[in-house]
């Protein structure tokens, strides 16, 4: 694995750094979710106007034909500049690439540009109360009715549904075939009275996630993506893109928080405590390890064309390290870190969800045990 950037990659990084210096959105507002969302939507429009909304997309769709390494540089530089992610991150990373891979020319013409410009926001309707990690067990059903599909069911953990115009929906369209073969993938308009969005309020007071209650919602047949019964294959395309590039943004963001914590420890004198210094040193090593694991994952994709199981190891270690970082911050900063509404208190509370979101630690450990260590499956 060669970590040296080529001249083209360095030129790409320098161009982006220069652009970010001239167009930085400033510090994102704290506290109010709607204000934060509006801030990120404005930021995506700025990225779109500058041609930086989705560098990994082909240029014919409004991207920059960026390589995997350039995409990694893109997310690292966003994190380094402490700029936020775009508002429509699920549209840019998941819906767009899936529509490019499986959509008709008409579907690509209709949906891709509004995704880039943040005109239309997307959410992901995969997880269900009894089918979270086991997607193929989902029960939401879609029944053909002339030129439409009628959908009934329930989804959960639907991030950003309250802001979304469209939903990547996987539903069961055939009950009489093996469960993986009876699924279809739809582009569902969220603006229907038959769809209720109910927020799931977290310990932070935010409601990033939602439940969807769908009672005979209608989807035109032309919004079927990839053909009837191909939902499992289309969904895998979405899932393959789920963590693309974000790992680089998250590890840089973690580095920023650690740097802030070290600064706080220096200012309040806790850095002189050898136990505190040891914990901060351990976090430095863990953060650097995550950076190298992110590049190792990138190298695997470049070599074999698809992510390897080390992505599960990275996610597991990231959630563990972020929780350790938040706990250390509470110990180093002291009572001030426990005051509601402060950034440190937010980090402490928000980190509790890290080992659940994006794949639970228990599932990730199973993947590492079976596919990396080659241990036998539990009976």
- Cα 6 to Cα 13, 96, 291, 301, 344, distances in angstroms: 11, 28, 19, 18, 38
| Residue 215 annotated among the catalytic residues of the structure | no
What is the Cα–Cα distance from 89 to 94, expressed in whole angstroms?
8
Distance of CA 337 to the CA centre of its chain: 27
Check 215, 242, 310, 370 and give the catalytic one.
Answer: 242
Distance of CA 20 to the CA centre of its chain: 22
* SS3 assignment, position 91: helix
Q: What share of the chain is helix, strand, coil (3-state, %, to 5)?
A: 55, 15, 30
Q: Which residues contact 299 (CB under 8 A, 6 or more apart)?
A: 1
What is the Cα–Cα distance from 248 to 57, expressed in whole angstroms?
18
252 φ, ψ (degrees, to nearest 5): -70, -40
Question: What angle in degrees, to the nearest 10, is found between the helix axes of 274-304 and 246-268?
Answer: 170
> The tokens of 197 are what?
């969005």
Which stretch of DSSP H or E encloses residue 19?
Answer: helix 7-23
- Contacts of 343-352 with CB under 8 Å at 24 or more apart are 343/30, 346/30, 346/204, 347/257, 349/202, 349/203, 349/204, 350/202, 350/204, 350/326, 351/319, 351/322, 351/323, 351/325, 351/326, 352/203, 352/323
Q: Are 328 and 262 in contact (CB under 8 A)?
A: no
What amino acid positions are annotated as catalytic residues? 242
């Amino acid at each position: 694995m060669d970590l040296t950037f080529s001249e083209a990659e360095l030129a790409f990084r320098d161009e982006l750094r220069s652009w970010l210096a001239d167009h930085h959105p400033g510090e994102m507002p704290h506290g109010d979710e709607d204000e934060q969302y509006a801030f990120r939507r404005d930021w995506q429009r700025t990225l779109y106007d500058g041609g930086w909304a989705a560098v990994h997309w082909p240029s014919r769709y409004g991207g920059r034909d960026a390589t995997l390494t350039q995409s990694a540089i893109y997310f690292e530089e966003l994190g380094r500049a402490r700029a936020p992610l775009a508002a429509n991150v699920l549209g840019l990373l998941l819906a767009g690439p899936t529509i490019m891979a499986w959509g008709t020319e008409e579907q690509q013409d209709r949906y891709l540009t509004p995704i880039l410009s943040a005109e239309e926001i997307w959410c992901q309707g995969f997880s269900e109360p009894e089918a979270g990690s086991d997607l193929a067990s989902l029960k939401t059903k879609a029944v053909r009715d002339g030129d439409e599909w009628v959908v009934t069911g329930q989804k959960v953990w639907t991030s950003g549904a309250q802001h979304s115009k469209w939903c990547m929906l996987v539903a069961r369209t055939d009950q009489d075939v093996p469960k993986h073969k009876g699924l279809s993938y739809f582009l569902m308009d969220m603006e229907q009275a038959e769809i209720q969005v109910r927020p799931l309020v977290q310990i932070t007071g935010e409601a990033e996630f939602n439940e969807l209650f769908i009672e005979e919602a209608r989807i035109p047949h032309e919004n079927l993506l990839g053909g009837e019964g191909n939902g499992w294959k289309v969904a895998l395309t979405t899932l393959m893109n789920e963590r693309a590039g974000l790992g680089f943004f998250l590890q840089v963001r973690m580095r920023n928080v650690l740097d802030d914590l070290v600064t706080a420890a220096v200012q309040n004198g806790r850095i002189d405590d050898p136990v505190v210094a040891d914990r901060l040193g351990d976090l430095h090593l863990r953060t650097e390890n995550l950076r190298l694991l992110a590049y190792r994952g990138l190298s695997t994709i470049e070599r074999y064309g698809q992510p390897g199981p080390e992505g599960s190891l990275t996610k597991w270690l990231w959630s563990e390290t972020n929780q350790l970082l938040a706990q250390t911050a509470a110990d180093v900063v002291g009572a001030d870190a426990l005051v509601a509404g402060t950034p440190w208190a937010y980090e402490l509370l928000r980190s509790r969800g890290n080992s659940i979101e994006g794949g639970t630690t228990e599932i990730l450990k199973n993947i590492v045990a079976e596919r990396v260590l080659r241990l036998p499956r539990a009976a």
